[in-house]
Amino acid sequence: MTTVEHPVDVASAASSGASATERFHTDKSPYEAVKDTPAARVDLLAREVLSAVHDTIRRHRVTYDEYNALKAWLIDVGQDGEWPLFLDVWLEHAVEDVATDHRSGNKGSIEGPYYVPGSPDLGAKGTIPMRDSEAGTPLVWRGRITDTQGVPLQGKVELWHADDDGFYSQFAPGIPEWNLRGSFSTGADGAFEITTIRPAPYQIPTDGSCGRLISAAGWHAWRPAHMHVKVSAAGHELLTAQLYFPGDEHNDDDIASAVKPELILEPQVEADGTQSVNYEFALDPERS
Determine the straight-line distance between the first and last CA of the chain, rounded to whole angstroms: 45
In-domain check, residue 172:
yes
In-domain check, residue 7:
no
Q: Looking at the 3D structure of the chain, how many domains does it have?
A: 1
For β-strands 275-278 and 281-283, DSSP reports them as unpaired
Higher pLDDT, 109 or 11: 109
Res. 32 pLDDT band, cuts 50 70 90: confident
Q: What pLDDT, on a 0 to 100 scale, did the predictor assign at position 23? A: 67
In-domain check, residue 129:
yes
Q: What is the pTM of this model?
A: 0.89
Cα distance between residue 65 and residue 54, in whole Å: 16
In-domain check, residue 3:
no
pLDDT in tens, 157-216: 999 999 999 999 999 999 999 999 999 999 999 999 999 999 999 999 899 999 999 999
Residue 283: which of 248, 246, 235, 249 has the closest Cα? Answer: 235
Q: What pLDDT, on a 0 to 100 scale, did the predictor assign at position 3? A: 36
> Cα 81 from chain centroid?
18
| CA angle, 262 then 150 then 244, to 5° | 20
* Collapsed DSSP state (helix, strand, coil) of residue 13: helix
* Collapsed DSSP state (helix, strand, coil) of residue 158: strand
In-domain check, residue 263:
yes
Query: What is the overall mean pLDDT for the chain?
Result: 92
- Is the pLDDT at 103 greater than 90? The verdict is yes
- The stretch 241-260 carries a mean pLDDT of 97
In-domain check, residue 25:
yes
Q: Give the residue numbers spanning the domain of 56.
A: 13-283
| CA angle, 65 then 222 then 75, to 5° | 30
In-domain check, residue 288:
no
In-domain check, residue 4:
no
- Share in percent of the chain as helix, strand, coil (round to 5): 30, 20, 50
Q: What pLDDT, on a 0 to 100 scale, did the predictor assign at position 53? A: 97
The CATH number for 189's domain is: 2.60.130.10
> Quick one: CA dihedral 20, 115, 100, 219, positive or negative?
negative
User: Which DSSP string corresponds to 82-118?
Assistant: -HHHHHHHHTHHHHHHHHHTT--S-------S---S-
